[in-house]
Amino acid sequence: MRTYRDDDRGQVAVEFLGMVPLILLTLALLWQVVLVGYTYTLAGNAADEGARAQAVGEDCDSAARKHLDSAWSAEVNCSSPGDGMSYAEVELQVPVLVPGLGGLFPVRGKAGAVDEEGLGR
């Protein structure tokens, strides 16, 4: 005698295979969101380190790049306009799923630090 349950044999496997692409797409989108946040964090930290280096008379560009992995291509701009502050701006491209792969949009980190060169250190 056949039961109703026997008619559904293999249904869970078929439904799982149908859901796998949706699960993978969701994971990829979540990972991309994580990379966007990480890019903002890296840009801000690199700009902060560059501004600190500029404030004590060191090389701003190399200080900012030292805190970035080689997969992240950065554009670093440093300035000391004479108002007692040093500024740094770092621009990074948000990668597509893997750092070093393409760029979705630019992210800018800006930072400033009090110039310490003229303070008698």
Q: Which domain holds residue 47?
A: 4-119
User: What per-residue confidence (pLDDT) applies to 118?
Assistant: 60
Q: What is the mean pLDDT of residues 9-19?
A: 81
Reported in sequence order, the residue ranges of the chain that DSSP labels E, i.e. its strands, are 74-79, 85-93, 106-114
Give residue-wise pLDDT tens across range 43-94. Answer: 999 999 999 999 998 999 999 999 888 888 889 999 888 788 999 999 999 9
The CATH number assigned to the domain holding 18 equals: 3.30.1300
Tokens of 50: 């560059």
DSSP-derived pairing of the beta strands 74-79 and 85-93? antiparallel
Give residue-wise pLDDT tens across range 17-56. Answer: 888 999 999 999 999 999 999 999 999 999 999 999 999 9
| Overall domain count for the chain | 1
User: With the C-alpha atoms ordered 90, 93, 98, 99, is the resulting torsion angle positive or negative?
Assistant: negative
